[in-house]
Amino acid sequence: MLLINDINENTARALLNKYQLELVVLEDNAKIPGTYWGEPEAGLIKNKVYVRSDTPIQSLLHESCHAICVDGERRKNLHTDAGGRTPAEENAVCYLQILLADQISEMGRNRMLKDMDDWGYSFRLGSAKRWFEEDAEDARDWLIRYQLIDENEKIQFVLRA
């Protein structure tokens, strides 16, 4: 699994900054505030995404995508659990994290799909790759509806209003 210490931290920071999100890199072995799954998974509090050097990139992007996909009212109160309101929203978070993986040269889409499988994501078709390619229309449509991507899957780098 690709970890924070395997990439250029400034690349991740710049990506999150495009969304007005702040990457907070903690010292090794520090407790991660706002982590839903426990250390070393990323934590989320309002507009801050907390990680350590041993945090998986897929976790960093997943929590960041929750912050991107929630509406403005929920974003003001984000703390630990983004509280995805529908399966389509949770799927949209997963879909967007796969698209954003291409923004981190060390990660890329294919590595993200593999790391999602290794982490334990379960999809109806048995793998993140098959889900993304064959069964994710609802997630794609959701992202388009909220103008987070366009019809060509171009990322808009905006937060959901």
Residues of the chain with pLDDT under 70: 84
Output the pLDDT for position 151: 97
Q: Are 97 and 62 in contact (CB under 8 A)?
A: yes
Tell me if residue 132 falls in helix, strand or coil.
Answer: helix
Which residues 6+ apart lie within 8 Å of 140 measured at CB?
95, 149, 153
pTM for the whole structure: 0.95
Output the pLDDT for position 84: 66
Output the pLDDT for position 45: 97
Output the pLDDT for position 120: 86
Cα-based distances in Å from 95 to 26, 121, 151: 27, 12, 14
Output the pLDDT for position 60: 98
Output the pLDDT for position 123: 75
